[in-house]
Amino acid sequence: MKVVLERREALVGAYDASVSGFFERTDKDEPLPRLLQAEDAAVGGTLTHAWKARDFKGKAKEVTVLVRPDGRGRVALVGLGRRPLTPDGIREAAAAVVQKLKGRGVRTLSFRLATFAVEGIPGDEAVRALAAGALLGGYEFLRYKSSGDGGVEEVTIALGAEHSREEGSLRRVLDQELLLAESCLFSRDLANTPPNTATPEWLAEETRRLGRELGLKVQVFDEKKLAEMNCGGLLAVGGGSVHPPRLVVIEYPGGARSGKTVCVVGKGITFDSGGISLKPSSGMADMKFDKSGACAVLGIVRAAARLKAPPRVIGILACAENLPSGSAYRPSDVVRTHNGMTIEVLDTDAEGRVVLADALAYAVERYHPDEVIDLATLTGAAVVALGEYLGVLIGTEETLAEGLERAGRSVGERVWRLPLTDPHREMVRSDVADVRNIVEPRVAGSLIGAAFLEPFVGGRPWAHLDIAGPAWSRKGSLKWAPAYQPLGATGFGVRLVARYLLDGAK
């Protein structure tokens, strides 16, 4: 999908659909909003009649479509719900529109900016939200479909006279937002790829491809090299699969000469069966999304490089497939990791932390980063605690955590902090090794996961994003998902961390 900005009357009939937003009506005698008079004229007064008949109310995401009497295109209205309007409300509205118009022969549509940049929403925020909502909401993973429905191909954000003086700055804002959203879609495509294709080596190859495209250095450590590097965690988790593990590194040198170094580390389990501690088969198919953290890392590096973010960004992917077999690791194994610390494996399904131990240890040893951010579909407990639409954020560094919270609010990828405390740290101590990978009884699962990871970060400022909830949208709960996160991988974390790197990590 293409998104462009034009100084043009949105209602000229040049588009298959011209879209305007309006607030929910609160009073049944309320007249048609003044802002919609042009739309009413474009459909010969039908809107007024429909309004009087209370055919549409303006509830959030309600979409009404009217064909123009001359047959030249349609006028579409999208409800913005009750006041106050937020950028997130606009993102949802734009996403709802492109979804509603799918399969109706609508190829081109325009949003009339003046009906969205209202009541305290500045033009640039409205442009951002419309662009992100349309692009993210219109996404479908079609690579394996023989035929598609045919969706909206070109979206125009139509500037009226009110915004003509801002045109230059709105174009810059739009370009940046599009890059963030496209990087998110890039990440979704990777994460949606099924595990018979998306093996650890495939993730490595996709990283090499991205590196070539962006001119970035990529290193791939295979199982032989991992053995030399004492990465016993990655080797243990990947040991049950015929697709051996990989540690993958992609380096963006940074746009500012004195910028920070930020390591962004992702869990890349290409399929998590649980291993010998096998998961129940219901829901196991979703575990192809267990590589979402690593896929987000690639999206983040892509966005940072394309937008020339100030900090140096090192993307690190911990890739392995967790399967049971005669060569699989087992409960009671003790493995030695890259920094020399040992892990007592008590449950092979708590594998994410075991591969991340090596990746984090390598990150801090090799790059001495100013900040470390990891993204991982680490615990089912994160879904229990916060549900499917919020990420768990755990970290002891205030400025980093606050910067990520702020960035998340701004892009619509919200995270909520949980408190890591000393008792959690004590609970992961093992009787026979330095740490153990599960704790009985199973309490505070997400914090236990973070407490396990912390010693591998060697005291560096660190933030852990457990994205087990929002990494993908499940069919059964789609109706509660933000409309800009349709079925399948969401790319959660890409726009959040990229926004942080652009704004907050100077």
**What residues does 435 pair with on adjacent strands?**
343, 429
* Beta carbon of residue 397, minimum distance to ligand BES (angstroms, whole number): 25
Q: Per-residue b/e over 172-201, b at no fewer than 16 CB within 10 Å?
A: ebbebbbebbbbbbbbbbbbbbebeebbbb
Q: State the residue number with the nearest CB to ligand BES.
A: 380
**Contact predicate 460/361, CB 8 Å:** no
Which residue, 56 or 452, has its beta carbon nearer to ligand BES? 452
Q: What's the CA dihedral at 330, 331, 335, 337 to 10 degrees?
A: 100
Question: Can you read off the two tokens belonging to residue 474?
Answer: 């499940």
Return the residue matching tokens 């409205």.
Answer: 126
* Beta carbon of residue 427, minimum distance to ligand BES (angstroms, whole number): 12
Which residue, 142 or 443, has its beta carbon nearer to ligand BES? 443
Which residue, 321 or 351, has its beta carbon nearer to ligand BES? 351
Q: Which does 383 bind (CB under 5 to 8 A by kind): ligand BES, Zn ion, none?
A: ligand BES
Q: Which residues have a Cβ under 8 Å from the Cβ of 37 and sit 6 or more positions away?
A: none
* Beta carbon of residue 272, minimum distance to ligand BES (angstroms, whole number): 5
Q: Which does 438 bind (CB under 5 to 8 A by kind): ligand BES, Zn ion, none?
A: ligand BES
Return the residue matching tokens 């035929």.
Answer: 147
Asked if 232 interacts with ligand BES (CB under 6 A), we say no
Q: Which does 250 bind (CB under 5 to 8 A by kind): ligand BES, Zn ion, none?
A: none
**308 is a catalytic site residue:** no
Site for ligand BES in 257-296 (CB under 6 A): 272, 290
Question: Which among 272, 410, 249, 255 is positioned nearest to 354, based on CA atoms?
Answer: 272
In 222-297, the DSSP E strands lie at 246-252, 261-272
* Beta carbon of residue 286, minimum distance to ligand BES (angstroms, whole number): 7
Question: Which residues of this protein are in contact with Zn ion, per CB under 5 A?
Answer: 269, 272, 290, 349, 351-352
From the list 76, 319, 381, 435, which residue makes contact with ligand BES (rule: CB under 6 A)?
381
* Beta carbon of residue 238, minimum distance to Zn ion (angstroms, whole number): 13
Which residue, 280 or 340, has its beta carbon nearer to ligand BES? 280
| DSSP per-residue string spanning 402-466 | HHHHHHHHHHT--EEE----HHHHHHTB-SSSSEES--SS--SHHHHHHHHHGGGGTT--EEEEE
Q: What's the CA dihedral at 262, 271, 418, 136 to 10 degrees?
A: 70
| DSSP per-residue string spanning 291-323 | GHHHHHHHHHHHHHHHTT-SSEEEEEEEEEEE-
Which residue, 358 or 405, has its beta carbon nearer to Zn ion? 358
Which residue, 173 or 381, has its beta carbon nearer to ligand BES? 381
Asked if 351 interacts with ligand BES (CB under 6 A), we say yes
* Beta carbon of residue 439, minimum distance to ligand BES (angstroms, whole number): 8
Q: Cα–Cα distance between 3 and 155 in angstroms, integer? A: 5
Sign of CA dihedral 300, 467, 373, 504: positive
Q: Is the backbone peptide bond immediately before 84 cis, with ω within 30 degrees of 0?
A: yes
Residue 371, amino acid:
E
Which residue, 98 or 447, has its beta carbon nearer to ligand BES? 447
Q: Which does 21 bind (CB under 5 to 8 A by kind): Zn ion, ligand BES, none?
A: none
**91 is a catalytic site residue:** no
Active-site residue, selected from the candidate residues 171, 279, 330, 425: 279
Question: Can you read off the two tokens belonging to residue 176?
Answer: 């940046």
Residue 86, amino acid:
T
Go through the chain and tell me how many residues it has.
Answer: 506
From the list 122, 324, 331, 380, which residue makes contact with ligand BES (rule: CB under 6 A)?
380
Active-site residue, selected from the candidate residues 353, 414, 495, 499: 353
Asked if 127 interacts with ligand BES (CB under 6 A), we say no
Question: Which among 358, 366, 470 is positioned nearest to 414, based on CA atoms?
Answer: 470
Give 3-state DSSP helix, strand, coil % of the chain, rounded to 5: 40, 20, 40
Asked if 349 interacts with ligand BES (CB under 6 A), we say yes
* Beta carbon of residue 388, minimum distance to ligand BES (angstroms, whole number): 9
From the list 99, 176, 199, 379, which residue makes contact with ligand BES (rule: CB under 6 A)?
379
Complete edge-to-edge strand list for the sheet that includes strand 312-322: 217-221, 246-252, 312-322, 261-272, 371-376, 462-466, 391-394, 415-417
Q: Cα–Cα distance between 416 and 387 in angstroms, integer? A: 11
Site for ligand BES in 459-478 (CB under 6 A): 468
From the list 77, 178, 304, 383, which residue makes contact with ligand BES (rule: CB under 6 A)?
383
Residue 198, amino acid:
A
Q: Which stretch binds ligand BES (CB under 6 A): 56-64, 72-80, 330-338, 374-382?
A: 374-382
Q: Which does 454 bind (CB under 5 to 8 A by kind): Zn ion, ligand BES, none?
A: none
* Beta carbon of residue 181, minimum distance to ligand BES (angstroms, whole number): 24
* Beta carbon of residue 376, minimum distance to ligand BES (angstroms, whole number): 8
Which residue, 309 or 350, has its beta carbon nearer to ligand BES? 350
Q: Which stretch binds ligand BES (CB under 6 A): 6-14, 334-342, 350-358, 456-464?
A: 350-358
Asked if 324 interacts with ligand BES (CB under 6 A), we say no
Q: Which stretch binds ligand BES (CB under 6 A): 220-228, 311-319, 346-354, 390-398?
A: 346-354
Residues that bind ligand BES (CB under 6 A): 272, 290, 347, 349-352, 377-381, 383, 438, 445, 468
Which residues are catalytic, by number? 279, 353
